[in-house]
């Protein structure tokens, strides 16, 4: 099998990339059948080492183990998210519990944990450098949180729980994708296209072509890059309602793709996990390894924005209601009216039309903008490479070089929506940076879901998303650590969004927009008057966006704070929480539980959707350092940003890293002011 399976051969490809053009879905099961036992044999050998445990023969050896399994796993994760197929989905279902079982075999390995625990107990006398000590502490905690300290019977049960959870998370993700790819709203005549600007018509036409419909057809899908501008511009209230309800109902249809029982079972198993570890709730278990520490700290932060945002929304609602009456639209307004009416109010109040802005935000120009910011901040250059096979024809590859022209990484951009790709935007890696074997070259990918067109035009929210994911990408590319467990984005979950969210700030800088926001047809710079209108309108409708985010974050924390053993009816619980919180019905939520992939496609963001706002506190305060300096590219601050935030990985406690950058602890006021919730 090794001779014919490209996953098990040496990857003699440019940069050691996966042989994308040779890999098929059927290669993965036999590849893992070879890679998993090989990895476990390495673990057994470390555990059976006759010499007493040392950092080198235990921790460093563990960090360097499983190279074959790692490269196959990362490729598999990327393909199932970015370019899946029915065959690959079937393999994913088959492999999910087996991969979870393998992780259990590693982290419940009594012999290996005994050596790690012995080193941990003596850590103060081992004369380790700070990075070695951090690795020991993190790996020990990884094993403890995975159940290594549990009694034998509990370890067996914990193992069964994680395998079942892996299968359920896979099912949840595939159910959402099935509902998203199965929805399309045909716009069959000019009346159905009423109000849609040219860029949206072009994107809807491209979406129809991708679905094999006749030339000239237009469809709206549930992809945010189509659905959200449709909700903003369509004059057809009935069609806006259909799209809004389609997005809300993902995963909540009776039948084979119903995620409500899936999520309920996930919750039951998570509560049992927490109970086995001795925590009263799953939220308590999760937050032990987060900056927040306790659910109460999360509630305190979210409470600072929730009621002020609802109060501010009352003023906005009055303005939108007045606009609806002036247009002869029904009142009271509904959730599928808010974006539409807000755009009308914004046009009237600020003389700013999103359709007027979009021609200045061509995707290609904004890619150039983010690369330019990386060059001015960190001295990076991005050199596109052609003729290298990637996972999809739309994906693009860049070499990343530093000021000395040394190659430091590879960046892949996959920016367009398609039916074979999950929704949203995310960063991942095909290979991590580390010091292994003289140093490994990171291979980072950014995924977005922009609507493809001859010239793809972005909204300003899309531009922020592009910059956000690129911030994650820089976190992976600039990593400078010795051990892979500490590299790049492998930091605490409520810290991982700091590098991404702070990078969004440069998308709003006037000097960046003046250079790169150029009309896609004429090449003319954005007129100063339009730029000024964009600046004045930045805080418009912030109450709506705050409620859309904070509501799901509060419900996530309430759900995972239920006492162990609580039975959960997902739909009923969500309705109850919406009523308790007073979630405005004419605003709604960004995510509903039946499709809330942050929570149920894996454990990372469970009891953790709050992390974006936690990191927003850090990012707003951190970016103030540049504002105080009067220069968004001030080099001494940029060097500190690179050293302590982007390059340090998990080498030190994040609170200490932030303090090293800012010379003090973070303040919450810059975030509240940025959202317009305080003066």
Which residues have a catalytic role annotated? 469
DSSP state of 292: S
- 450 forms bridges with which residues in the sheet? 416
Closest by CA position to 75, among listed 146, 124, 18: 18
Written as one string, the DSSP assignment of 347-374 is HHHH---HHHHGGG-BHHHHHHHHHHHH
Copy the structure tokens of residue 393.
């024809």
Copy the structure tokens of residue 224.
């945010």
Rg over alpha carbons for the chain, rounded to the nearest Å, is 25
**Using CA atoms, how far apart are residues 192 and 196, in angstroms rounded to an integer?**
9
Do the Cβ atoms of 425 and 332 come closer than 8 Å? no
- Mapped onto helix, strand or coil, the DSSP state of residue 385 is strand
Between helix 611-629 and helix 498-507 the angle, nearest 10°, is: 50
Q: What distances in angstroms separate CA 47 from CA 20, 64, 115, 438, one per listed residue?
A: 35, 14, 7, 25
Closest by CA position to 650, among listed 437, 513, 482, 462: 482
Do the Cβ atoms of 403 and 418 come closer than 8 Å? no
Farthest CA pair distance, the chain? 82
**Given the structure tokens 């060097």, which residue do they identify?**
639
* Backbone angles phi and psi of 385, in degrees to 5: -115, 135
Q: What distances in angstroms separate CA 366 from CA 42, 150, 446, one per listed residue?
A: 45, 51, 14
In 10 A of CB 253, how many CB atoms? 16
Please report which helix (H) or strand (E) contains residue 128, including its range.
Answer: none
- 555 forms bridges with which residues in the sheet? none
- Sign of the CA dihedral running 624, 629, 634, 637: negative
**Using CA atoms, how far apart are residues 604 and 606, in angstroms rounded to an integer?**
6
Closest by CA position to 623, among listed 612, 609, 608, 634: 634
Copy the structure tokens of residue 59.
């921790």
* Backbone angles phi and psi of 145, in degrees to 5: -70, -25
Q: Judge if the upstream peptide bond of residue 332 is cis by omega within 30 degrees of 0.
A: yes
**Using CA atoms, how far apart are residues 578 and 104, in angstroms rounded to an integer?**
37
Q: How far is CA 429 from the centre of its chain?
A: 13
Do the Cβ atoms of 280 and 274 come closer than 8 Å? yes
Please report which helix (H) or strand (E) contains residue 280, including its range.
Answer: none
What is the number of alpha carbons within 13 Å of residue 145 lying toward its C-beta? 17
């Amino acid at each position: 099998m090794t001779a014919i399976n490209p996953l098990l051969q040496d990857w003699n490809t440019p940069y050691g990339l996966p042989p994308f053009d040779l890999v098929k879905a059927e290669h993965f099961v036999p590849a893992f059948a070879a890679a998993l036992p090989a990895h476990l044999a390495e673990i057994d050998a470390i555990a059976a080492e006759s010499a007493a445990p040392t950092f080198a023969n235990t921790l460093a050896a563990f960090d360097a183990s499983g190279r074959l399994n790692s490269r196959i796993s990362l490729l598999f994760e990327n393909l199932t998210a970015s370019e899946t197929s029915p065959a690959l989905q079937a393999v994913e279902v088959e492999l999910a519990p087996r991969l979870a079982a393998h992780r259990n075999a590693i982290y419940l390995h009594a012999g290996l944990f005994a050596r790690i625990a012995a080193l941990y107990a003596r850590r103060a006398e081992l004369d380790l450098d700070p990075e070695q000590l951090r690795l020991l502490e993190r790996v020990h905690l990884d094993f403890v949180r995975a159940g290594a300290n549990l009694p034998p019977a509990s370890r067996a049960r914990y193992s069964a729980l994680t395998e079942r959870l892996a299968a359920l998370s896979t099912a949840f993700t595939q159910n959402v994708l099935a509902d998203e790819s199965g929805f399309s709203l045909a716009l069959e005549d000019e009346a159905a296209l009423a109000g849609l600007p040219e860029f949206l018509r072009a994107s809807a036409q491209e979406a129809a072509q991708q679905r094999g419909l006749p030339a000239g057809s237009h469809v709206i899908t549930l992809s945010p890059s189509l659905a959200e501008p449709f909700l903003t511009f369509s004059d057809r209230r009935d069609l806006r309602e259909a799209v809004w309800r389609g997005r809300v109902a993902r995963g909540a249809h009776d039948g084979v793709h119903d995620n409500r029982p899936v999520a309920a079972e996930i919750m039951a198993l998570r509560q049992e996990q927490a109970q086995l570890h001795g925590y009263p709730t799953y939220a308590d278990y999760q937050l032990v390894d987060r900056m927040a520490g306790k659910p109460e700290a999360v509630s305190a932060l979210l409470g600072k924005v929730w009621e002020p945002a609802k109060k501010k929304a009352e003023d906005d609602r009055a303005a939108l209601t007045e606009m609806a009456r002036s247009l002869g639209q029904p009142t009271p307004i509904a959730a599928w009216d808010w974006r539409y009416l807000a755009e009308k109010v914004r046009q009237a109040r600020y003389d700013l039309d999103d359709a007027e802005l979009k021609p200045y935000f061509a995707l290609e120009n904004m890619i150039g903008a983010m690369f330019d910011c990386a060059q001015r901040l960190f001295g990076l250059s991005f050199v596109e490479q052609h003729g290298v096979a990637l996972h999809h024809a739309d994906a693009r590859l860049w070499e990343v070089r530093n000021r000395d022209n040394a190659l430091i990484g590879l960046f892949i951009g996959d920016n367009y929506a398609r039916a074979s790709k999950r929704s949203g935007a995310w960063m991942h890696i095909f290979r991590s940076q580390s010091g292994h074997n003289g140093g490994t070259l990171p291979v980072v990918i950014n995924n977005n879901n922009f609507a493809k067109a001859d010239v793809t035009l972005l909204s300003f929210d899309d531009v922020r998303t592009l910059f956000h994911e690129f911030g994650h990408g820089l976190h992976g590319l600039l990593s400078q650590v010795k051990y892979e467990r500490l590299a790049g984005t492998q930091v605490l979950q409520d810290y991982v969004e700091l590098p991404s969210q702070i990078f969004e700030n440069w998308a709003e800088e006037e000097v960046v927009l003046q250079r790169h926001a150029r009309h896609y047809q004429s090449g003319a710079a954005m007129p100063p008057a339009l730029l000024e209108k964009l600046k004045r309108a930045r805080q418009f409708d912030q109450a709506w966006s705050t409620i859309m985010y904070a509501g799901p974050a509060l419900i996530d924390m309430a759900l995972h704070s239920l006492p162990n053993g609580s039975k959960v009816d997902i739909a009923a619980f969500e309705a109850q929480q919406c009523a308790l919180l007073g979630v405005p019905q004419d605003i709604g939520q960004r995510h509903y539980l039946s499709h809330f992939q942050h929570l149920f496609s894996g454990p990372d963001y469970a009891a953790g959707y709050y992390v974006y706002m936690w990191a927003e506190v850090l990012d707003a305060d951190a970016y103030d350092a540049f504002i105080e300096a009067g220069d968004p590219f001030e080099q001494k601050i940029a060097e500190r940003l690179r050293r302590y935030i982007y390059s340090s990985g998990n080498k030190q406690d994040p609170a200490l890293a932030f303090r090293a950058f800012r010379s003090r602890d973070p303040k919450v006021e810059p975030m509240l002011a940025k959202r317009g919730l305080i003066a």
